[in-house]
Amino acid sequence: MNPSRIACFVLTASLAAQTGYPSKFSAGLPERGEVKSAIAYIDAHFDRQVKEWIRITEIPAPSGQESERAAYVKAEFEKAGLQPAIDPSGNVAARRKGSGGGPTLVFAAHMDTVFPRSTSVRVTKRENGTLHAPGVGDNSASVANLLQALRAIQAANLRTRGDIVFLATVQEEAGLKGMYAWLERNKGATGLLVALDGSLGPVRYGALGIYWSRMKFTAPGAHTNRSRGAPNPVRAAAQCITGIYTIPLPEPGAPVQAIYNAGGMMSAGEIVNAVPREVTFTVDLRTVDKELLGSLDDAIVSKCEQAAQAQGVTFTREWIMKSAAGGRPEDLAGRRGHPIVQTAVDVLRYLKFDLPKGHEAEPDGSTDANAGVVNGIPSISTGRCIGEGQHTLGEWADIESARIGAKQIVLLAAALTEPE
């Protein structure tokens, strides 16, 4: 072993001793010639990265309608020297081969946004070091970071043993559909998964269980004049929603939380003077606790069944998404000990990002990494930039923080793929 490798090993062991967790990062890693060159590339071309970030933001990409963004990403992968492909779901993937012997690392950035195509996604303001537009952070920034990190890695000829897959996914906002589909089509192909999503901050290594349901109440319907005493799906839905909001949740400050939202989407009749034949509303239920997820779901369905019986209507439940919970913190102790987590923490510390003390890594998450967690793949999500207002028309993002977002990809690629 040469002296530089010995120094890196000693420092890595020292970091592990300080934190209690193993890490693949060392202070010597960023000083390697090609790693240093890749980081310098990001600094030298940051203006281009910001211009591309704006361009990507302004390409409409509602969930299920990402084809225009996908075409752009595919073309940029090709320009960078890779051979990308768009799969039947619409995901864009490109593999950068390593020399062999290291794990395959997948970087995933979802292309879709929550905004309808009719929404203006122009970046209307660039002031005080921020960009303002719907979707500018979630998740346009991650797509731009991914592309720029790839260019930096290629320009520096970064040598790795493991392959790196650059993946732009679809329909993350509609239930992680693209990521689940990609993992299903590529079983056993992922050694490590890093989802590029969320604000910079704690590294997340768990999976928030997410159940999305459509609750449907039906009856024959009736003219208003003949509606007194008739079965009424509206009254059933109203009774059910009211009942759901009486279901107790963990107290604020409890180590594990849960949340539900009943009525995020609703549908009913189309005319004023009739009781509708069908009324629907959605329920969004979330918690990392597998048992709590099941018990809350049972309680919600029970409220619906009771309301349907009381109002003399029919109740059916339709699944929109059923994403499993990763588990409580104590269930994920082994995952916290996987080097992928502490490596990401150490990378952010090296880049001088101020992580919350004692909460550098959190056993939760609501990103494409969830699909990896529930499939038993060592997975994390790490952020793209700093910003606020995601999923609102007032969304904004800090420009300079995206520099960290891109650099962390380079450093994670170098650390996690067993550098040569």
Amino acid at 13: A
Question: How is the chain split into domains, by residue range?
Answer: 3-207+327-416, 209-323
Torsion of CA 370, 372, 376, 378, to 10 degrees: -100
Distances (CA, A) of 137 to 144, 202, 296, 398: 10, 17, 32, 9
d(CA 97, CA 311) in angstroms, rounded, equals: 62
In this prediction, residue 126 has a pLDDT band, given cuts at 50, 70 and 90, of confident
Angle between the N-to-C axes of helices 33-44 and 140-156, in degrees from 0 to 180, rounded to the nearest 10? 130
> Residue 158 pLDDT more than 90?
yes
Answer whether 196's CB lies under 8 Å from 407's CB. Answer: no
Other Cβ atoms less than 10 A from the Cβ of 89: the count is 17
> Residue 7 pLDDT more than 60?
no
H/E stretch holding 336 reads helix 333-336
Answer whether 411's CB lies under 8 Å from 344's CB. Answer: no
CA-closest candidate to residue 194, choices 379, 339, 404, 418: 379
Q: Tens of pLDDT along 302-317? A: 999 999 999 999 999 9
Answer whether 38's CB lies under 8 Å from 369's CB. Answer: no
- DSSP label at 90? S
Answer whether 108's CB lies under 8 Å from 375's CB. Answer: no
In this prediction, residue 9 has a pLDDT band, given cuts at 50, 70 and 90, of very low
In this prediction, residue 13 has a pLDDT band, given cuts at 50, 70 and 90, of very low
Round the average pLDDT of the chain to a whole number and report it. 94
Angle between the N-to-C axes of helices 401-416 and 339-350, in degrees from 0 to 180, rounded to the nearest 10? 140
Q: Which pair of structure tokens corresponds to residue 211?
A: 């159940």
CATH number of 209-323: 3.30.70.360
Other Cβ atoms less than 10 A from the Cβ of 157: the count is 10
d(CA 36, CA 119) in angstroms, rounded, equals: 41
Q: Does domain 3-207+327-416 match CATH 3.30.230.70?
A: no
Q: Which pair of structure tokens corresponds to residue 403?
A: 């520099």
d(CA 362, CA 359) in angstroms, rounded, equals: 6
**Torsion-angle region of 116 (φ positive above 0: left; ψ -120 to 50: alpha; else: beta):** beta
Torsion of CA 127, 133, 139, 142, to 10 degrees: -30
Q: Tens of pLDDT along 189-201? A: 999 999 999 999 9
C-alpha 302 chain-centroid distance: 31
Q: Which pair of structure tokens corresponds to residue 177?
A: 């559909």
Report the residue count for the chain: 420
Q: Tens of pLDDT along 55-71? A: 999 999 999 999 999 99
pTM here is 0.89
Same fold, 3-207+327-416 and 209-323: no
Instruction: Looking at 167-289, list the stretches that DSSP marks H as alpha helix, in order from N- to C-terminal side.
Output: 177-185, 233-244
Q: Percent helix, strand, coil in the chain (nearest 5)? A: 40, 20, 40
C-alpha 125 chain-centroid distance: 26
